[in-house]
Structure formats: structure tokens, C-alpha cells
Amino acid sequence: MQFKRKKIPSVNELAEAIFAGNKTLLARGITLIESRRTADHTLAQELIERCLPKINKSIRIGITGVPGVGKSTFIERLGKLITGMGKKVAVLAVDPSSSVTRGSILGDKTRMLELSKDPDAFIRPSPTGESLGGVARKTRESVILCEAAGYEVILIETVGVGQSETAVHSMVDFFLLLKLAGAGDELQGIKRGIMEMADGILINKADGDNLKRAQRARAEFERALQLYPPKASGWLPKVSTCSALNNEGITELWGMIEEFIANNRDSGFFETLRREQNTNWFLQTVDERLKSSFYQHPDVKKELTKLIKKVGNNQISPFKAADLLLSSFKQN
Amino acid sequence: MQFKRKKIPSVNELAEAIFAGNKTLLARGITLIESRRTADHTLAQELIERCLPKINKSIRIGITGVPGVGKSTFIERLGKLITGMGKKVAVLAVDPSSSVTRGSILGDKTRMLELSKDPDAFIRPSPTGESLGGVARKTRESVILCEAAGYEVILIETVGVGQSETAVHSMVDFFLLLKLAGAGDELQGIKRGIMEMADGILINKADGDNLKRAQRARAEFERALQLYPPKASGWLPKVSTCSALNNEGITELWGMIEEFIANNRDSGFFETLRREQNTNWFLQTVDERLKSSFYQHPDVKKELTKLIKKVGNNQISPFKAADLLLSSFKQN
């Protein structure tokens, strides 16, 4: 018996297949983006450059909420609603913790069984990576591939570890906070900064015994949102309830998003925000590449290990050590 | 009439005066560190290198708390207690917002009238700077000068704007959170991550009608602290109450700090932490200098402005723009 080696497609073959909507090769393209092999980086950049002219037609939605809030069920329902309208939906994730837990979030498509079988849906778990920066960059690049493959709505999920909401917020058009109605003060324990970022808040599990609590929570969030200054776009964030389990309130939520997008397109803020995001992305890319070209330099690597030891032992000051390291780089 | 120009002291003169405990020239030295003139940077670095062999004998204490918590009064009381024990105390601040408000925090020494007149106390407002990184670096470097001038306790204050607590936490031996007893849930509205950072929590204004509330708050914080995993050093953070106004509870708080320091010196964690802080400081310095040598390069400056415009107008992708910028730097 003979095993055939899987043929490695060229960047051109990948690009053409992605444009044609081939899910398997879209996944291969994203794997290329996520690869840590230096040789793959150039290929990944080529692929992205090929895809870039095809982007900017989708709506990008960020979704955050703590574990247990029902994100998977909600995303499955929302995804099905979107494909039901004849649109293609892609689900991506930014979860820096998945590098430890090996992709518990979105790791298995069984979490979204129905959606994963839908020909118009594409689900991809969070890239694994040591840093939020790396994970976020890879997701942002994967968005481009998905858009080039014709996905019209991109859902980007995060569990909100560390600064991951900020990262997701910086790459989406609409940012949704998913909440549960709790026993008491709904605002307690809410991460600072999240309220300011949210374009909409959705209280899930508004069903059965929980319905009244959810309605109270909605009123409380509505009051709290009034305390924040209006968004630059003029949009006033809205609060809505749903039962993802019973498939209730999903259409209303989609209506909120459509209203937001229409508003922002009219005011020109949709394009302004994307332009700002692009500029920030550019500056972040410059920072990252500058650092990586520095720290991957063989002389720097060698010197760095020695200097860290010396600094730790108080044999040299942090400044002097920095001077030495930078001058060893400049000489080469 | 003739005006004499203030004579500019040499680095050597500054260093010798600082070692001799001259407050005026210590202040001049810090001004040199805070200067934005490129020519001053080299002099500042020389001065720091001169001072470094004299450091590491002080205790560095970080103090955070929202405006209105009574930080100034508390620091004045604590400072007087310390000088009363025959020790010299320096008060510095990390407040990135002061670049806007022009140093409202600690800006006028009238806030600490008694302490500012004390010959054994040195008070310095927060350096102004555009970024937290810049403000933090300057404060960290000022600590060295203060220690070289014989200050045995360094208090570093912050109002906790943005990530400033994290910055202060990264440069101190003991981190104190100042709180007020409120009307209800004490833990509500507390910034995430602060509880994990605190080595001690002090509830101020525990006086008059407020006494019972302060005691309840203390119990609540004690319960809450038990939910966190123990510190790497084994220290269990403590909660204490005080009335800075009535000068009550300050000695007890100082006792808590002394116990902490003794524990950490015994376990060797005091030195371990300082070593880690030095290493991080080294790596941050490298990052900063790498960036500044890049962005201050005339070709990069010129190219950057053009590319930001092009990226904003979607004439070029963020990646391609980053490539162009970095290669224009490498060629020169």
C-alpha cells in the first residue's frame, strides 16, 4: 500500500479556490496564516495581498461574554438566521487562553452542530498563540480570507481574557456584549471599559423563571448606558433580551445590528471607523515587524540571554544593558 | 541691572550634590531626566549610571486610590511618621493624566504642606508626558536619584488612570490600595486586577459616623481577598482601617508594611522581585529605544506620514505599507 502525500497548493491555487468559495482551501489558507514556520509567513502575506482587493463588503460583528453565558447557542442561532436570509456567515474567535487549553473555545464544531453543517457557514476555532497580539493579528488576517471567499457576515467571538475584547473591538463594525440576568446587581463584576465598547447588550436566557429577571436587567443596563457619553458616531447603544435556547429575540437583535449599520453607513462613520482600524493595524504591524526583526537577529538572541542574566544579578544596569544590546544590533 | 544666568551644573556636580543630599540639585537631576531635549537624554543616562551603585537600600511603596479617597492627607501622615522615625522619605507620582491637567496631582506642594517643609522629605509631582510608558520610565529613573540621595522610603502615588497601577506595581516592593467605605457593596466598581496586585488594603476616613461602615468594609475586603490565590511570596494581603484626618491607624499600617518587608527579606522574595523588575525594565528599555531610534529616523518620519494617508484611503494594504516602511529604514 502506498500513501500519497497531500499536495501543497500554491498561493495562486489557494487564492483562486478561496475566491470560488472552496471551504477546504479557505481553511488551508488560514492554516498558512497561523503557521509559525518562517517560510510560511511570506506565502501567507502573498495570499493576503491577493485577497485584499476582494474585501470590505462584509459586516464584522464582535461578540463577547463570559463562559456560561450561552455564546455558542446564540451564535448558532444568529448564524442560522443569517444563512436563512441567503447570506454567508463565518465564525472566528480570539481566545489567547486557547493556547493553553488547546482550543476549548470553538475547538470542536460540535458546539455549533447545526451551523457547522450549513453549506453557507464557515467555523474556525481561535488560532493558538503565545500572545494576544499574535492571536489577534492572525484572526484579523483570517477575516480577509473569509471576506475574499464571499462571507458577508463575520462573527468574531471572544471570552474576554485579558485585553481580548479590546483586540476584537478594534477589528469589528459592531460590538455585542452578551450577559445573563443575575441575582442582584447586574453591573457588578462587569469589566471596566466593556460598557464603553459595546454597541449593543444582549441579555440571554430570558426564558421561563428567568424572564422577569432578564427584563429587570435590561432596564438596569439601559439606565447605566445613559451615564456614558454618546458614541462618536452618534449611536446610542441598545439593550435587548433573547432566549437562544428557544430561538427567541434573535431576529430583534439582528434588527438592532441592521439599524446600526444603516445609521453608520449614512453618516459615513462606517467607512471612517474602518479607515481608523486600518491605520492602527498598519502601525501595529510596523511595531511587530520591527521587534521581530530585532529579536530574531542571531547576535541579538545570543547577547540577550547573557544580558538578562547580568541584569538579574545586578552586574549591569538595565540602561547600560539596553545600550549594549542595541549597539550590537546596529553594528551588524 | 544685570541678570545672572543660572549656572548649569555638570553631571559630576549633580551626582556629588545628590550623594550629599542636596535637595535642590536632586530636583535639577530629576528635571534632567524629565527633559525632552535629546541632548539632555545622554546626560540623564550618565547621571543615572553614576547613581546606580548607590541604590537598592530603600523600601519602595506604591499607593493607589481614586480621587477623593484622601491620598494626600494619608501620604502626609505616613511621610511624617517615617521622618519621625529618623528616616528620609521621597514622594513621587505616576499620573499620565497630569500632562493634560498640568499636574493637578501633587502639582502644588500645598497639598502636603507639613511634609513639604520637612527637611527629611522630598516631594516631586508626576512628570508630564504623552504616554504612560514615558511617565513611568521617568519616575522609575527618578527613584534611582532619590535612593542615591539617601531616601530610605520611596512612596509612589497614582490615581489609577488607565494602566498606571500596573506601571507603579512593577516598580515597588509593596503595593497599597486606598479605599473609602461606601454605602453598599464595597467591591463594586473596583478595577479588575487591582485586588490581585494589592499587598495591603487601607480603608481611609474610618472616623465619626463612618467608623462602622469602614469596619464592615474591612470585613468584606478580608473575605474577598480569601478568594484569590496566595501570592508567590506566600504573603496574605491584609486589610486595615485608618483616619488620615485624625492621624489614626497610620502606625498600624506601617507595621503591616514592616512585617511584609521582613517576611519577604527572609524568604529571599524581596530580592527575587527586584531582580524580576530589573529584567522587565531592561526589556522595556530595549523596546522603547528600538522604537524611538526607528520612528525618529528622518526617512521613517517622512515615509510614515505618506503611508498613513495611503492606508487610510485604502490605496495600500497595512502589510504592504509596513513592508515599505521597514525596508526604507533598513536601506539607510
Amino acid A330: pLDDT: 72
Closest chain B residue to A277, measured at CA = B312
Determine the number of helices (DSSP H) and then strands (DSSP E) in chain A.
14, 7
| Phi and psi at residue B234, to the nearest 5° | 90, -10
List all residues 6 or more positions away from A167 whose beta carbon is below 8 Å from its beta carbon.
A94, A132, A133, A135, A136, A158
Q: Which residues of A touch B45 (CB under 8 A)?
A: 319, 323
Q: What is the distance, to the nearest Å, from the Cα of residue A105 to the centroid of all Cα atoms in its chain? A: 13
Contact A314 B282 (CB under 8 A): no
Quote the minimal CA–CA distance from B199 to chain A in Å: 21
Q: Which residue has the cell 493576503?
A: A48
**What ipTM goes with this model?**
0.70
A308 pLDDT higher than 50: yes
CATH architecture of B1-54: Up-down Bundle (1.20)
Higher pLDDT pick, A165 / A184: A165
Closest chain B residue to A308, measured at CA = B279
Q: Which residues of A touch B323 (CB under 8 A)?
A: 289
List all residues 6 or more positions away from A143 whose beta carbon is below 8 Å from its beta carbon.
A55, A58, A60, A90, A92, A154, A156, A171
- Give pLDDT tens digits along chain B (332 positions): 445 556 788 999 999 999 999 999 999 999 999 998 888 988 998 999 899 888 768 999 999 988 888 899 999 999 999 999 999 999 998 887 654 344 444 454 567 889 999 999 999 988 877 678 788 889 999 999 999 999 999 999 998 776 888 899 999 999 999 998 864 555 655 666 788 899 999 999 999 989 999 999 999 889 888 877 788 888 999 999 999 999 999 999 999 999 999 999 999 999 999 999 999 989 988 998 898 888 888 889 899 999 999 888 777 888 889 988 988 777 65
* pLDDT tens track for B42-60: 899 899 989 988 876 899 9
Length of chain B: 332
**How is residue A264 written as a grid cell?**
453608520
Closest chain B residue to A294, measured at CA = B290
Q: CB burial class (10 A; 0-12, 13-18, 19+) of residue B87?
A: middle
Amino acid B177: pLDDT: 94
Q: Which residue has the cell 497561523?
A: A34
Contact A185 B188 (CB under 8 A): yes
Interface test with B, best of A278, A296, A299, A308 (most B CBs within 10 A): A278
Contact A319 B49 (CB under 8 A): yes
pLDDT band for position A1 (cuts 50, 70, 90): very low
What is the Cα–Cα distance from A57 to A167, expressed in whole angstroms?
21
Q: What is the distance, to the nearest Å, from the Cα of residue B188 to the centroid of all Cα atoms in its chain? A: 25
DSSP code at position A300: H
Contacting A with CB below 8 Å, chain B residues are: 45, 48-49, 52, 56, 185, 187-188, 191-192, 275-276, 278-279, 281-283, 285-287, 289-291, 293-294, 307-308, 311-314, 317-323, 325-326
Amino acid A187: pLDDT: 61
Contact A286 B192 (CB under 8 A): no
Considering only CB atoms, A312 lies closest to which of B279, B314, B322, namely: B279
Q: Which residues of B touch A293 (CB under 8 A)?
A: 326
Q: Which CATH number fits domain B56-267: 3.30.70.260, 3.40.50.300, 3.40.50.2000, 3.90.1150.10?
A: 3.40.50.300
Contact by Cβ (8 Å): B269, B306: no
* pLDDT tens track for A182-192: 645 556 556 66
Quote the minimal CA–CA distance from B189 to chain A in Å: 7
Rounded mean pLDDT of A32-58? 88
Amino acid A67: pLDDT: 81
Higher pLDDT pick, B167 / A56: B167
pLDDT band for position A17 (cuts 50, 70, 90): very high
Rounded mean pLDDT of A122-145? 86
Contact by Cβ (8 Å): A198, A177: yes
Contact by Cβ (8 Å): B152, B88: yes
Q: In what order do the strands lie in the sheet containing B121-123?
A: B121-123, B89-93, B153-158, B59-64, B174-180, B200-204, B238-241
Contact A311 B45 (CB under 8 A): no
Give B20-54 as a DSSP string: TT-HHHHHHHHHHHH---HHHHHHHHHHHHHHGGG
Amino acid B101: pLDDT: 42
Domains B1-54 and B56-267 share a fold: no
Domain positions in chain A are 1-54, 56-267, 284-330
Quote the minimal CA–CA distance from B174 to chain A in Å: 20
Quote the minimal CA–CA distance from A312 to chain B in Å: 5
DSSP code at position B104: -
List the beta bridge partners of residue B123: B91
Q: Which residues of B touch A275 (CB under 8 A)?
A: 312-314
**How is residue B155 written as a grid cell?**
512612596
List the beta bridge partners of residue A179: A203
Q: Which residues of B touch A278 (CB under 8 A)?
A: 311-312, 314, 318
Q: What's the whole-number average pLDDT of chain A? A: 87
Considering only CB atoms, A317 lies closest to which of B52, B287, B317, namely: B52
Quote the minimal CA–CA distance from B3 to chain A in Å: 38
Q: Which residues of B touch A52 (CB under 8 A)?
A: 317
Amino acid A31: pLDDT: 94
Amino acid B104: pLDDT: 44
